[in-house]
């Protein structure tokens, strides 16, 4: 497959960084091992937002459920097919969680531990409409996650987008959820400095999203991970994310988080105040957002009173 065709596929799926790998592989006249080397060098970069596996072609490697586009013209096609057959069956999917919109599996991708998020069809919808909506939401999630990473927010690396199986393949994050950390604080107590550090990271990450015109849509402590070793905050699950510069949408984002903290982590004290303090320090547009947040809180109280 020609380089310009690969680039056009990348642009269509909003994952333009694959072109860097394609160019590098072409320059090196890469073999399969050369492609893996390029893949490793780009995906380990802090600024690397995504690489993509799309659909079967004569120059593709089939790895389990994923199709990785490879530039390896120097490799005999029959050997390529043979290597593919050896890899098929070694990939496994272990169900971790199932929600209303998707299933989450643990798997491997190009020898790396990974997460596969598969959006399943809704039987009550017309099949054609269902496919269109599912694909639209899949692409929207990939775009928002990529944009968040470009804004400086730590998210899992997006390895692959499969529009046929409606799945995303993501980096596996070694660590625990912020929910578990806060519950541990309530049950056994943790170091106060660690709570302050996590709250500050949450506030800074949300501020970067909002200043960049992105709302997460589902800010709960279950959708935040703390990476083992570095204690770095990682935001996950951008399935409800959308682009918006409206203070109202930013305020609702913060209000959703506030309600989640009050319902699940009341024993953590004023952790929301610490998050808002960090948000205020990091955001250039905090004033308009905080004014709207006060209004959203009032609406929420009225709704609670009325029932």
Whether the Cβ atoms of residue 236 and residue 155 lie closer than 8 Å to each other: yes
Specify which residues 233 forms β-bridges with. 226
Using DSSP, state whether 79 is helix, strand or coil. helix
At residue 43's C-alpha, the angle toward residues 67 and 61, to 5°, is: 20
Record the tokens describing residue 227, joined without a space.
């990476």
Catalytic entry in 218, 249, 253, 273: 218
Is 218 tagged catalytic? yes
Report the side by side order of strands in the sheet with 175-177.
175-177, 224-227, 233-235
Residue 207: partners with Cβ closer than 8 Å, 6 or more residues away: 278, 279, 281, 282, 283, 286
Whether the Cβ atoms of residue 215 and residue 251 lie closer than 8 Å to each other: no
- How far, in Å, CA of 82 to CA of 211, rounded? 49
Active centre residues (catalytic): 218
């Amino acid at each position: 497959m020609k380089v310009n065709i690969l680039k056009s596929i990348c642009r269509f799926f909003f994952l333009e960084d694959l072109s860097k790998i394609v160019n590098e592989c072409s320059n090196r006249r890469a073999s399969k091992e050369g492609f893996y080397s390029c893949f490793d060098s780009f995906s380990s970069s802090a600024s690397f937002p995504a690489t993509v596996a799309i659909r079967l072609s004569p120059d593709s490697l089939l790895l389990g459920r994923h199709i990785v586009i490879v530039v390896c013209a120097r490799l005999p096609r029959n050997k390529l097919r043979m290597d593919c057959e050896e890899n098929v069956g070694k990939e496994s999917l272990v169900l971790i969680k199932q929600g209303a919109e998707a299933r989450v599996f643990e798997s491997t991708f190009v020898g790396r531990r990974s997460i596969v998020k598969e959006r399943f069809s809704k039987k009550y919808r017309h099949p054609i409409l269902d496919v269109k909506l599912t694909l639209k939401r899949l692409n929207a999630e990939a775009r928002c996650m990529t944009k968040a990473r470009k804004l400086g927010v730590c998210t899992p690396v997006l390895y692959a987008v499969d529009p046929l199986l409606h799945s995303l393949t993501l980096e596996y994050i070694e660590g625990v959820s912020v929910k578990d950390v806060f519950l541990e604080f309530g049950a056994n107590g943790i170091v106060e400095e660690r709570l302050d550090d996590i709250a500050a990271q949450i506030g800074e990450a949300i501020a970067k999203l909002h200043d960049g015109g992105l709302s997460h849509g589902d800010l709960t402590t279950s959708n935040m991970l703390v990476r083992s070793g570095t204690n770095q905050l990682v935001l996950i699950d951008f399935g409800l994310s959308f682009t918006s510069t409206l203070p109202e949408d930013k305020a609702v984002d913060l209000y959703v988080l506030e309600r989640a903290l009050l319902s699940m982590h009341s024993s953590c004290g004023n952790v929301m105040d610490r998050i808002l303090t960090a948000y205020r320090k990091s955001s250039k547009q905090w004033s308009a957002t905080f004014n709207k947040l006060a209004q959203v809180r009032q609406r929420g109280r009225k709704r609670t009173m009325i029932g």
